[in-house]
Structure 1
Amino acid sequence: MEDFNSYFSSAFLGKKIIITGGTTGIGRAAAILLSSLGAQCLICGRNQQQIDETLDAIAAKNVRGGTGIAVDISSSEGIKSLFSQADDQLGGLDILINNAALGFGSITDGEYEDWQYILNTNLLAYMACSREAINRFRPLGMGQIINIGSMSAEVREDGNAVYVATKTGIQGFSAALRKEVNPLGIKVSLIEPGAVDTDMQAGSSEDKIQQINKQEMLPAADIAWAIAFCIAQPPASDVVSLQIRPHLQLI
């Protein structure tokens, strides 16, 4: 690559991207950034108002690159609706960003149905969305899946067993999936952030700003740039795994 700036500026033009959980936190930041770089993004979330707010933020960048659907991807019906919308609105697919996730604490909290909903959202949806994407990538001989995991898969913090189980599952799923689909021309990248300013982090907005200023938490936009970095790699170059944490989150 002789001119990185030229390559980077063209790497996103016209790319058709699905972002699950694209209405808050990392997903929202990624939708805004990638749209501003020239991609066509379809976001999904469970709250129509948050979808509208995110699409308004994209439009405020004076770009046309955003559409959205209110859907719950914890069910197969929701996932089918998402990809049907992608076929209609995008007319194809280049990149899937599996990002939607919910926080949860100890196995001593909640009941079976609560854990099942978390597993369906945080892990099974990643698997099912990946399958739908692969079905669309296979005839093209190319495509990319970016899974947003968590440093919790490495740290395995106390009192967070249910969430840790899902993120550890994503880590293993990503590694095995890459070996399956790389020969088909499909890339798989796993991004594992540390503490990020999202709805899953406890504390007020003011508390989170203080943590960001103290380098103990990252703004969601930092992870959006990491996603862009994975996408912008040359065709024969894969970012397989990328761990990102705040400088002073000593984990």
Structure 2
Amino acid sequence: MARIAIVTGGTRGIGEAISLALQESGMTVAATFAGNEARAAEFSKRTGIKAYRWDVADYDACQAGCARVAEELGPVDVVVNNAGITRDGTILKMDYQAWREVIDTNLGGCFNMAKAVFPGMRTRKWGRIVNIGSINGQAGQYGQVNYAAAKSGIHGFTKALAQEGAKFGVTVNAIAPGYIDTDMVAAVPGDVLEKIVARIPVGRLGAAAEIARGVVFLCGEDAGFVTGSTLSINGGQHMY
């Protein structure tokens, strides 16, 4: 029987690549999205992956959403916490709402989703949770105190939860992507993007599929001895 996986923010960008890679590996995938109905509908039609709409920052919505996926597809074996937002600005310009929204979505979403699925994984003695961090959570980034704090928190969250799941067959790991060729990065002004690429030793942006391959490994049957780890996929830009 196929494993059931949920990928948050799974209908576009890195999330879409992860959803497709897990599907190709033989899993039944549910992809969540926050608001773009048209994009989600196109994604589902093209891929056959069912899309579910809920806000990962909403605790009750995560409980209800995961329960719905379990009812429609089966018990959830894998969760990839990929959903994230940015509200960039220096601390002098950043208001509390911009801080709170990023913390609640990027870090709080990991808690909300894990809270919904971890008990079942523990009972069934098998589970995979992969949290998508960031190079900017490891190295920091000017104008991103909210985003860097949330992503850094993900790495600590991962190590702590891994200790709770280890003896029950539930592994918890993180991936810290560097700069990836997605719509978000494409929106960066060309001159700024050139400077970013110049700091990457391999000399290019990463591909979303390269992040997805790391996720597939960590979610696999043969990755049971890997837990509490952070896999940095950043072209050598930050060696942590």
* Alignment TM-score, normalising by the size of structure 1: 0.83
- Tell me if 1:139 matches 2:127: no
Q: 2:171, 2:224 within 8 Å by CA — same for their partners in 1?
A: no
The whole-number CA distance in structure 2 between the counterparts of 1:109 and 1:58 is 41
Q: Deviation at 1:107? A: 2.5
Equivalenced residues, count? 231
SS in 1 for 2:172: strand
Give the residue type in structure 1 aligned to 2:30: L
The whole-number CA distance in structure 2 between the counterparts of 1:179 and 1:226 is 21
2:177 corresponds to: 193
- Tell me if 1:67 matches 2:50: yes
The whole-number CA distance in structure 2 between the counterparts of 1:81 and 1:43 is 15
Q: 1:114 to 1:250 in 2, by over 3 A?
A: closer
- Tell me if 1:242 matches 2:231: yes
The whole-number CA distance in structure 2 between the counterparts of 1:184 and 1:250 is 33
Q: 1:158 to 1:235 in 2, by over 3 A?
A: closer
2:210 corresponds to: 222
1:63 corresponds to: none
- Post-superposition Cα deviations, 1:116-175, rounded to whole Å, max 9, x if no partner, equal 111110011101111111121121011110011011122112221111000111011111
2:46 corresponds to: 57
Q: 1:35, 1:58 within 8 Å by CA — same for their partners in 2?
A: no
The whole-number CA distance in structure 2 between the counterparts of 1:129 and 1:93 is 11
Q: 1:187 to 1:23 in 2, by over 3 A?
A: same
Q: 2:129, 2:219 within 8 Å by CA — same for their partners in 1?
A: no
1:88 counterpart (45, 48, 71) = 71
1:171 counterpart (155, 164, 178) = 155
The whole-number CA distance in structure 2 between the counterparts of 1:250 and 1:76 is 33
Give the residue type in structure 2 aligned to 1:70: R
Unaligned residue ranges in structure 1 (runs of 5+):
1-12, 60-65
1:48 corresponds to: 37
Percent identity of paired positions between Structure 1 and Structure 2: 28
SS in 1 for 2:51: strand
SS in 2 for 1:187: strand
RMSD: 2.6
1:7 corresponds to: none
Give the residue type in structure 1 aligned to 2:31: I
Q: 1:244 to 1:58 in 2, by over 3 A?
A: same
Q: Deviation at 1:201? A: 2.1
1:28 corresponds to: 16
SS in 1 for 2:130: strand
- Mean Cα displacement is larger for which, 109-118 or 67-76? 109-118
Q: 2:134, 2:177 within 8 Å by CA — same for their partners in 1?
A: yes
Unaligned residue ranges in structure 2 (runs of 5+):
none
Q: 1:85 to 1:197 in 2, by over 3 A?
A: farther
2:59 corresponds to: 76
Q: Deviation at 1:199? A: 3.7
Q: Deviation at 1:233? A: 5.2
The whole-number CA distance in structure 2 between the counterparts of 1:114 and 1:205 is 22
- Post-superposition Cα deviations, 1:177-203, rounded to whole Å, max 9, x if no partner, equal 111211222101111111012343253
Give the residue type in structure 2 aligned to 1:126: C
